[in-house]
Amino acid sequence: MPIVQISRIQHRRGKKTDLPQLAAGELGWSVDDQRLYIGNGTVADGAPAVGNTEVMTASSSSFTTSVSHTYKGYLGDLTPIVTGATGDVSRTLQKRLDDYVSVKDFGAVGDDSTADVVAIQRAIDELYSDTDQDDARARRTLFFPAGTYKINASLTIPPHAHLVGEGPDKTIIKNSASAPAMVTEDDDGNVYGNIGGSGATTPTQIQISNMTIRTTVAYGGLSIDNATKVYINHVKFQGTFITNGTDSSNSKGVSVRSTTALPCANIVFDQCQFTGFARLVDMSYDVTNVRFTNCDFSTAYYGALLGAEMDGSTNGLTKGPRDIQFSGSSWSTIGQQAIWVKPTAGADAGTGARNVISYGNWYAETVANNFEGTGSYREVPVLQYDNDECSSMMDFFERTDLRRADGSSELNAAPELQGIGIQTKAIRQETLLNNTSSATTINEFPALAGKGLIIKYKIVRGTLDRTGEFVISASTTAVSSDDTFTESGSDIGVTLSAALDNKDSTAGSETVALKYVMTDSSSTNATFDYQTTIIA
């Protein structure tokens, strides 16, 4: 359309204190604070109110308070939604942005060069530890954008801390201190030895997720001290230990410290990675109810060392770890035991690490072979339970404990599980061939160290079936067995037995074989479903 009129642009300038009511569309420049205003005009002209409106510039100090935000939903104005009881709820941009807090708001850089420990600790303290943080509304989630945050001292983690990164190997806490990268503290800032004094809230309800905690020296990743209800998700703990390294009591991926009055409890690690520490998990102090689920353990001298320092008398070391579970996890490139429940020297009966359960884990052939590669001499067991109430259930062991019959020198002197414990294997199925007159091997088990085997089974042959329990007691020199069963009708025609089998010319009979005979010529094979429980 043709231009009818161009109005003259009016403007004023002066100090902010001298700014008058501007005419409609008139600009006013505040020279002392470098801010720009425009006149609203009169109500009669259609303005919502008489006054001056600030125009946003680089010098505007009220940007976040003058701009409002109303939640629109993912469709925006296309499908309006009502956010309040009688209309939309409008909030200032400042309040909207304060729902979210980043360590960069406190000066952290994350460029793998700047020392960020002071800035990160300031953020943690302001959100969770200062005296006014008893109000739950102050305890916002602290976000770590992707980057490498260098620290040279332990970050102290107080109650209710919730630290979130963008994922392992994206958000990295890189520690160069001769101390763990993170330790827990109470809400007065007291660390282990003074936690809980003067009525301070002890560490609790702590969450850490989606980051890597990396140490560049042979020290630990996370020390959970006097803490309860700690939840660690999608965190990678990465140390400096390499294959063929030696043990170091300082190099611990995760550890706990308790006092008798304030033991640790209720700790969960889910989908975490532990790699490059002499001891991936080291727990000797009093702690109960610890869960490791869907985790990956690799490149270490020990996998999980439980109760190594527990003595039954020192403060915090009177009972040791209890109710510790590892499930659905993988273990590889570990020189010694994947899990070792250490015996308690000199302690009273009933003390020490116990009730340790390994369930549904995968143990690679590179575990418990002293870093000598696959197919080498097995010097230690994969699991060693030297205290009561421990078990292995449905675990898969990639290595074999049986002596080879091919004339090689391999001798697996250490079994999958050794000590005081029960190992329950997954159910297997074999076909028993009809008209087998000589004893034929179904499966073999190591007979070293005198283990007891209980085999629960079901045999189905045509319309006949048998359910039973076959018990074997074996050593390196003798074997005995007992078969107790119930059949559905006629004799199914299968006889089970056990025998020692000498695989080569050394060390005597070191394997016990489960065998069967089926001489009934009914021309019907049988299926043999069985589950083995080994009592160490």
Q: How confident is the model at residue 477 (pLDDT cuts 50, 70, 90)?
A: confident
Residue 169 has pLDDT above 80, yes or no: yes
The whole-number average pLDDT for the span 320-345 is 93
The 3-state secondary structure of 163-204, one letter per residue = EECCCCCCEEEEECCCCCCEEECCCCCCCCCCCCHHHCCCCE
pLDDT of residue 374: 56
Better-scored residue on pLDDT, 72 or 103: 103
Q: Which of 212-216, 490-494, 529-533 has the lowest mean pLDDT?
A: 490-494
List of domains in the chain? 1-69 (no CATH), 241-423 (no CATH), 428-535 (2.60.40.1680)
Residue 376 has pLDDT above 60, yes or no: no
* First-last CA distance in the chain: 95
Residue 465 has pLDDT above 70, yes or no: yes
DSSP 3-state assignment of 359? strand
The whole-number average pLDDT for the span 130-156 is 88
Better-scored residue on pLDDT, 417 or 191: 191
The whole-number average pLDDT for the span 523-531 is 93
Residue given tokens 């550890």 in the structure block: 255
The whole-number average pLDDT for the span 52-57 is 82
The winner for highest mean pLDDT among 145-149, 310-314, 374-378, 408-412 is 145-149
The whole-number average pLDDT for the span 434-444 is 92
Q: How confident is the model at residue 411 (pLDDT cuts 50, 70, 90)?
A: low
The whole-number average pLDDT for the span 494-515 is 80
Better-scored residue on pLDDT, 378 or 214: 214
Query: Nearest 5 degrees, angle CA 408-CA 411-CA 415?
Result: 150
CA proximity to 224, closest of 172, 176, 151, 158 = 158
Q: In terms of residues, how long is the chain?
A: 536
Q: How confident is the model at residue 409 (pLDDT cuts 50, 70, 90)?
A: very low
Q: How confident is the model at residue 83 (pLDDT cuts 50, 70, 90)?
A: confident
Q: Which of 143-157, 342-356, 361-375, 413-427 has the lowest mean pLDDT?
A: 342-356
Residue given tokens 């660390």 in the structure block: 191
| Cα(468)–Cα(455) distance, integer angstroms | 8
Residue 485 has pLDDT above 60, yes or no: yes
pLDDT of residue 388: 87
The whole-number average pLDDT for the span 281-285 is 97
Residue 410 has pLDDT above 60, yes or no: no
Residue 6 to residues 3, 62, 71, 127, 169, Cα–Cα distance (Å): 8, 32, 38, 54, 59
Percent of the chain whose predicted confidence (pLDDT) is above 70: 88
Q: How confident is the model at residue 402 (pLDDT cuts 50, 70, 90)?
A: low
Residue 96 to residues 58, 91, 162, 409, Cα–Cα distance (Å): 20, 7, 19, 70
pLDDT of residue 373: 61
Instruction: Provide the 10 A C-beta neighbour count for residue 24.
Output: 15
Query: Nearest 5 degrees, angle CA 121-CA 124-CA 130?
Result: 105
Contacts of 160 (CB under 8 A, 6+ apart): 128, 133, 136, 139, 204, 205, 206
The pTM for the full model equals: 0.85
pLDDT of residue 131: 56
Mean pLDDT over all residues of the chain? Answer: 88
